[in-house]
A = this chain, B = another copy of it.
Amino acid sequence: MELNVYLAGQIHDDWRKDIRDQAQTMDLPIQFTGPMENHDRSDNIGEEILGEQPDAIFKDEAASQLNNLRTEVLMQKADVVIALFGEKYKQWNSAMDAGSAVAMGKPLILIRPNELHHPTKELANKAQVVVETKEQALQALSYIFETQ
């Protein structure tokens, strides 16, 4: 049995690579998917495909068409969704993805530093598992496969 896990959250650093690498080290039969991690490309993908837009708002609308296409397709294939929150960035799309995941019946693992417990409290309550670190999230995934 193989699992498919969608990694929701910010795309400003390499946290997904850490998870992928560690999962490989742990030999977990998991396929990870997620959003476009090249931040500039993610912002510009609308104009890249659809051409120049009238202003910054329409540029964003164009980009989000493509980003949400990707998220929608990949999240429908996911068995589990992990959402990571950190101190920086607004991360409203991560929270939206987390809310969507739960409403779609996908178990959610929330990774957030304990310091953020207050603003993430409703997210934490909806999540199936709440952890502080990527390592803990991987342990949770690993537990699904372990036999003793």
Given contacts A85-B92, A99-B98, are A1 and B31 in contact (CB under 8 A)? yes
Min Cβ gap A71→B in Å is 8
CB interface residues, A 100-133, toward B, < 8 Å: 100-105, 107, 109, 114, 117-126, 128-131
Q: Is there an interface contact between A60 and B117, defined as CB atoms closer than 8 Å?
A: yes
> Which residues of B are found within 8 Å of A136, using beta-carbon distances?
49-50
Given contacts A95-B95, A146-B36, are A65 and B126 in contact (CB under 8 A)? no
> Which residues of B are found within 8 Å of A1, using beta-carbon distances?
31, 33, 77
Known: A49-B143, A65-B125. 18 other contacts (CB 8 A): A41-B148, A45-B143, A50-B136, A56-B118, A58-B58, A60-B121, A61-B125, A64-B121, A69-B140, A92-B119, A93-B121, A93-B122, A95-B96, A96-B99, A96-B126, A99-B101, A99-B103, A100-B102
